[in-house]
């Protein structure tokens, strides 16, 4: 983005911030209605006549992972058409781990500032795209405006995500759909798609890199690897609670334990971790985190990237969820298990976690994977 365009974008963003979200939305809707008129959508849509579709992905990494099943199902349904995925740069690495996708990246700054570059990107799809799918349940105004600017005859989103002229076709999942990946797939099913397998590819080089990192961290892999998302537990339940959890896992002697943190530990976390006498793997890229999960036999986490990756790679995982999150994020399948809690001081939660982890039966023969390709079906709800 050149300096002039960047400055103009900042000015527009500042003005919109000053007038507030409601007035900005009304202004952008006015522009779309008067400058970019589109005929009303008709449904059902003749899928066979669709030549090009655009998928606008959520800006949060974990939301992208929860949408993968829906994305693959849509791509399969429209396999006769050209398919483009638009995503933020920070999430692109996750999407590119699925081979064969046409991915365009943008920066968060360009979106948030309504930059000329971001607007021009939307204009590039005008009169080309037949259907634009907005996959974010709670999109921000820049992304809604982008959707409208494509002038796609059908601009599809979830009910409550935005109104006409931003979206003109809404998907309303059934109340019986609780588990988020299944809820998301209501969009693909609206167009007659069926559930598809996901081919998740981890580059051999990335696997070699994580193997080297494990070796450097003095992780021998002579026993099944158990990964604990220690940052989640420490920040949620505190040092003493997390220490009890670690000691229990070590006492089970079911495998070799390592600690994982998604972000660089802060001062208190770093000081506490230094006394654990366990290997700590931190601030890995998405692809390396996926490689680490693929080398592990059990993941212990919460509603985090670590847990979702375990599900995608068909690795056993135990997660801790707030009661309001449980049905949405934990399918309670053979692979993905969960425990609920109402607050950090909720009594008995630690014992419930102990019980679930104790039931874990690791493989006793460690397979040294040489392939980065994983094909599986998402865990179904039981």
Query: Could you identify the residue written with the tokens 């360009």?
Result: 110
Q: Which helix (H) or strand (E) holds 331?
A: none
Give the pLDDT of residue 15: 56
What's the pTM value of the predicted model, to 2 decimals? 0.85
Contact yes or no for 370/204 (Cβ under 8 A): yes
Torsions phi, psi for 64 (to 5 deg)? -65, -45
Give the pLDDT of residue 365: 43
- Cα radius of gyration (the chain): 23
Name the residue among 62, 156, 58, 155 with its Cα closest to residue 111. 58
Give the pLDDT of residue 371: 45
Strand partners, 199: 375
Torsions phi, psi for 173 (to 5 deg)? -60, 150
Using CA atoms, how far apart are residues 135 and 56, in angstroms rounded to an integer?
A: 6
Using CA atoms, how far apart are residues 320 and 228, in angstroms rounded to an integer?
A: 12
Query: Could you identify the residue written with the tokens 């994983």?
Result: 374
Beta strands 169-171 and 103-106, pairing class: unpaired
Residue 268 vs residues 142, 235, 262, 272, 274: alpha-carbon distances, Å: 38, 10, 16, 6, 10
Using CA atoms, how far apart are residues 245 and 233, in angstroms rounded to an integer?
A: 9
Dump pLDDT digits (tens) for 199-228.
Answer: 788 999 999 999 999 999 999 999 999 999
Dump pLDDT digits (tens) for 230-247.
Answer: 999 999 999 999 999 999
Query: Could you identify the residue written with the tokens 């989103």?
Result: 157
Question: For the chain, how far is it from start to end, CA to CA, in angstroms?
Answer: 49
Identify the band that residue 198 occupies on the pLDDT scale cut at 50, 70 and 90: confident
Identify the band that residue 8 occupies on the pLDDT scale cut at 50, 70 and 90: very low
Name the residue among 340, 306, 343 with its Cα closest to residue 321. 340
Using CA atoms, how far apart are residues 151 and 32, in angstroms rounded to an integer?
A: 9
Contact yes or no for 64/58 (Cβ under 8 A): yes
Give the pLDDT of residue 374: 52
User: Please, is 365 exposed, middle or buried when counting C-beta atoms within 10 Å of its C-beta (0-12, 13-18, 19+)?
Assistant: exposed
Strand partners, 337: 318
Dump pLDDT digits (tens) for 252-270.
Answer: 999 999 999 999 999 999 9
Give the pLDDT of residue 254: 92
User: Please, is 192 exposed, middle or buried when counting C-beta atoms within 10 Å of its C-beta (0-12, 13-18, 19+)?
Assistant: exposed
Q: Which domains occur in the chain, in start order? A: 3-196 (3.40.50.2000), 201-376 (3.40.50.2000)
The whole-chain average pLDDT of the chain stands at 88
Number of helical (H) and strand (E) elements in the chain, helices listed first: 17, 14
Using CA atoms, how far apart are residues 145 and 12, in angstroms rounded to an integer?
A: 14
Give the pLDDT of residue 316: 96
Dump pLDDT digits (tens) for 83-142.
Answer: 999 999 999 989 998 888 999 999 999 998 889 999 999 999 998 999 999 999 999 999
Dump pLDDT digits (tens) for 311-368.
Answer: 999 999 999 999 999 999 999 998 999 999 998 888 899 999 999 999 888 765 444 4
Give the pLDDT of residue 246: 97
Q: Which helix (H) or strand (E) holds 31?
A: helix 21-35
Residue 294 vs residues 33, 228, 333: alpha-carbon distances, Å: 49, 14, 18
Give the pLDDT of residue 378: 38
């Amino acid at each position: 983005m050149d300096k002039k365009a960047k400055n103009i974008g900042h000015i527009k963003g500042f003005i919109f911030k000053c007038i507030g979200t409601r007035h900005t939305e009304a202004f952008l809707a006015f522009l779309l209605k008067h400058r970019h008129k589109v005929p009303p959508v008709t449904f059902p849509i003749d899928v066979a006549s669709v030549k090009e579709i655009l998928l606008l992905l959520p800006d949060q990494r974990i939301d992208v992972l929860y949408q993968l099943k829906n994305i693959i199902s849509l791509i399969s349904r429209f396999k006769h058409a050209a398919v483009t995925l638009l995503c933020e740069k920070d999430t692109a690495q996750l999407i590119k781990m699925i081979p064969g996708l046409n991915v365009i990246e943008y920066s968060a700054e360009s979106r948030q500032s309504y930059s000329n570059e971001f607007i021009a990107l939307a204009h590039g799809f005008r009169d080309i795209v037949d259907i634009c799918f907005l996959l974010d349940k709670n999109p921000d105004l820049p992304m809604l405006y982008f959707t409208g600017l494509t002038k796609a005859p059908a601009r599809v989103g979830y009910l409550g995500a935005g109104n006409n002229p931003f979206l003109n076709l809404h998907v309303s999942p059934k109340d019986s759909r609780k588990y988020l990946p299944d809820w998301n797939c209501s969009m693909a099913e609206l167009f007659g798609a069926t559930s598809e397998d996901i081919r998740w590819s981890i580059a051999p080089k990335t696997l070699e890199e994580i193997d080297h990192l494990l070796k450097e961290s003095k992780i021998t892999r002579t026993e099944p690897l158990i990964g604990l998302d220690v940052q989640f537990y420490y920040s949620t339940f505190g040092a003493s609670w997390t220490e009890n959890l670690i000691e229990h896992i070590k006492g089970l002697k079911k495998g070799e334990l390592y600690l994982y943190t998604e972000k660089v530990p802060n001062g208190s976390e770093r000081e506490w971790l230094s006394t654990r006498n366990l290997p700590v793997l931190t601030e890995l890229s998405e692809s390396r985190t996926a490689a680490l999960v693929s080398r592990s036999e059990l993941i212990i986490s919460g509603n985090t990237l670590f847990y979702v990756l375990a599900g995608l790679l068909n690795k056993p995982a135990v997660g801790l969820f707030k009661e309001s999150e449980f049905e949405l994020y934990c399918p309670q399948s053979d692979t993905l298990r969960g425990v609920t809690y109402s607050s950090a001081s909720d009594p008995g939660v630690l014992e419930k976690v102990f019980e679930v982890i104790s039931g874990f039966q690791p493989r006793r023969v460690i397979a040294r994977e040489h392939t980065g390709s994983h094909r599986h079906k998402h865990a179904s709800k039981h």
